[in-house]
Amino acid sequence: MPSLFDFPEIYEAVMPRPINAVETEVANIERLLAQRGVAHAHILDLACGAGAHAIPLAQRGHRVTGLDVSAAMLALAQQRAQHAGVDLALVHGDVVDFELPPSLGDGLFDCALFLYETFQIISDYGQVVRHFATVRRRLRPGGLYVIDLAPCRHGVGVVESEWGRRTIALPSGAVETWNMDYPGDWVEGTSHLVVHCRVEQDGRVFETVDDWRLRMYSPWELRLLVKTLPGWALEGFFAWDTLRPDIADSPHYWMVLTAMSE
């Protein structure tokens, strides 16, 4: 079964990121960099998708490398970057373990980003450890790592339920989408979400299914996690839109870390 990520324009219709939200996030990334005295940063955008953040960051004078597991997303990011008149280095790879091409030079970055609340898809602890070790190798000492997180206030899901069913118009058709929650694994601390789409476009009908086990972190659990990861210091948790440390009512929030010297 194909994934929604194989169809970037449909993905953006189903999971839109309002332009004003992206602009706020880009401005806040620059605020965090400015606090560290970095004006023109070398930025690694993990799970970059079609370049929603990478392109405006490049337009502001930063050198951006985007990494994504979806070749279709990267192709659209390249098209949009060319249309915007900016250069992006785009790499096809998995966020858990990835290599970067020699053309990037020393491959060290001032900042790494993991936005769109996708970090929680890495649910296995061993993979989490490998992910942080890989990102740490790519950051300069003192480098910034910003991770966007869903609040997970209700913990691990325990019932099966459908939610969010709706039909969205496309330029040449429509997509019906709905989400299914299934009982999660309380022992492992993961919920189970499946996102369905049924697409009618240009006279053809097809479906996509994305099946995710999501680790349900609280900020307290994240603090404990970071203590187990060598080479990292936790700077704190901040509301995505204001950068204030009061995240109690924030619909999603940022965990900000600093890469420590070896």
Report the C-alpha gap between 65 and 93 in whole angstroms.
12
Say yes or no to pLDDT of 104 above 80: no
> Using CA atoms, how far apart are residues 249 and 125, in angstroms rounded to an integer?
28
- The encoded tokens of residue 172 equal 């040449």
Give the start-to-end residue ranges of the domains of the chain. 4-152+217-259, 161-215
Residues 49, 36: Cα–Cα separation, whole Å: 27
DSSP β-bridge partners for residue 42: 63
**Whole-model pTM over 0.85:** yes
Residues in the chain: 262
CA distance 255 to 139: 16
| CATH, range 4-152+217-259 | 3.40.50.150
**pLDDT > 90 in the chain, percent:** 92
As a whole number, mean pLDDT of residues 16-44 equals: 96
pLDDT tens by residue, 196-249: 999 999 889 999 999 999 999 999 999 999 999 999 999 999 999 999 999 999
**pLDDT tens digits, one per residue of 52-74:** 999 999 999 999 999 999 999 99
- Hey, which residues does 166 pair with through a beta bridge? 177
Q: How confident is the model at residue 105 (pLDDT cuts 50, 70, 90)?
A: low
